[in-house]
Amino acid sequence: MSTRGGSKTSRIERYVHHSGEELEIPVGTVVGARSGPKFGVSSGMHAGEFAGIHGAIRLFRELDPATLRGEVRIIPIMSTRAFFTRSTQLSPVDERELHFQPAGRPEGTYSEFQIDCIFNLLRDLDFHVDMHAGEYVQALDPWVAFADPTTNERLRRDTWRLAGSMPVPYLDPRQADIQDRFSELDQGLPFALMREGVANVWTEIGQNGVQDPGEIELQYQSLANALKRFDMIDGEPAPVPAQAILGPRRWSMESLESGYWQSEVSIGQKVRKGQRVGVLEDLAGNHIKTYTAPEDAVVQYFWTSPAINAERVPHGYPWHRGLIRLSELRPDAHRDPRLELAR
């Protein structure tokens, strides 16, 4: 439909990698009747993170062009092939992890090509939210993460205000020089968009491939709150809880031996230095290793699959060795002066 009252359209973008492998990306566009910023939403970078995918589809359905100021561009899933083959975490074509693929290398691997296509669909935006969750075998406590644009005050303020608008308890600012060993994130989509001047964050809400109504609602409210904060839609935002800043230290525990893993903590639990967090056994029930917290920390996520495969490390990515991720939560994390930027 297209009228003076704005428009709502959807299309499939089709691409072919130099290997001959195809890529399809669905894009919905809602153009408001009145002018305003360009705001992007994507989800399904990891195709089994359904709370965000569901939230994106709901936003496209519910946005009313007549009352929207500006434009909202929605990519509910970053590859129809990944979604429909139920490739919930890694690329169904080359088994790479999209979050760590660099934009700007369309001649590279299939996954590099894919992330460059996504980047080109988003690079002209003012704001962008990429929605993630815990995947099929991952339990997770909600937070919002972002590349912190420390050298551009305008962009920094917009990014923190975008993150701070969302009704989640934790903010997780990242800088390119502070990374955990899982991560080459500073080459990936969030940092590429930041360098292009797009204020952007990624949500981590939902878990275990479950379409939990409360988690879908939280993803949706995060988008709606952001659109309200930047005056693109009217309405009262959902209340935002007292927020705290995670980090900067984080501990990604992984196993160098295969076995049967059982976490002994819950998501969001605060653990003390030395406290047991889980145990690895062999398939006969013999003890291999007990894991303990290296410092006082909060449990951000853990793997709910017991199957730990130390040998399966596709392209160096240690996903099948992953056990648990702990983050530092400093005593003053609720009073960090950077939180002023988020209001």
- In the complex, the residues that contact Zn ion under the rule CB under 5 A are 46, 49, 132
CB of 329 to Zn ion, least distance (A): 22
Between 30 and 51, CB nearer to Zn ion: 51
179 with 243: CB under 8 angstroms?
A: no
For 335, other C-beta atoms within 10 Å of its C-beta total 11
Nearest Cα to Cα of residue 69 among 108, 31, 34, 111: 34
**Does residue 248 have a cis peptide bond before it, meaning omega lies within 30 degrees of 0?**
yes
CB of 89 to Zn ion, least distance (A): 8
| One-character DSSP codes across 163-225 | HHTS--SEEEEEBTTB--TT--GGGSHHHHHHHTT-EEEEEE---TT---HHHHHHHHHHHHH
26 with 73: CB under 8 angstroms?
A: no
Between 203 and 243, CB nearer to Zn ion: 203
Between 23 and 145, CB nearer to Zn ion: 145
Order of strands, edge to edge, in the sheet holding 244-245? 2-3, 6-16, 22-31, 69-75, 34-43, 127-132, 199-204, 143-147, 170-174, 244-245
CB of 49 to Zn ion, least distance (A): 5
CB of 337 to Zn ion, least distance (A): 30
CB of 169 to Zn ion, least distance (A): 19
Between 132 and 156, CB nearer to Zn ion: 132
Q: What is the DSSP letter of 241?
A: P
| One-character DSSP codes across 83-99 | HHTT--SS-TTT---GG
Between 156 and 320, CB nearer to Zn ion: 320
196 with 123: CB under 8 angstroms?
A: yes
CA pair distance 176, 251, nearest whole angstrom: 17
CB of 45 to Zn ion, least distance (A): 6
Between 229 and 325, CB nearer to Zn ion: 325
DSSP run (H or E) holding 302? strand 297-303
Between 46 and 156, CB nearer to Zn ion: 46
CB of 46 to Zn ion, least distance (A): 4
Chain residue at closest Cβ approach to Zn ion: 132
CB of 4 to Zn ion, least distance (A): 39
CA pair distance 338, 142, nearest whole angstrom: 20
CA pair distance 223, 5, nearest whole angstrom: 22
Between 132 and 229, CB nearer to Zn ion: 132
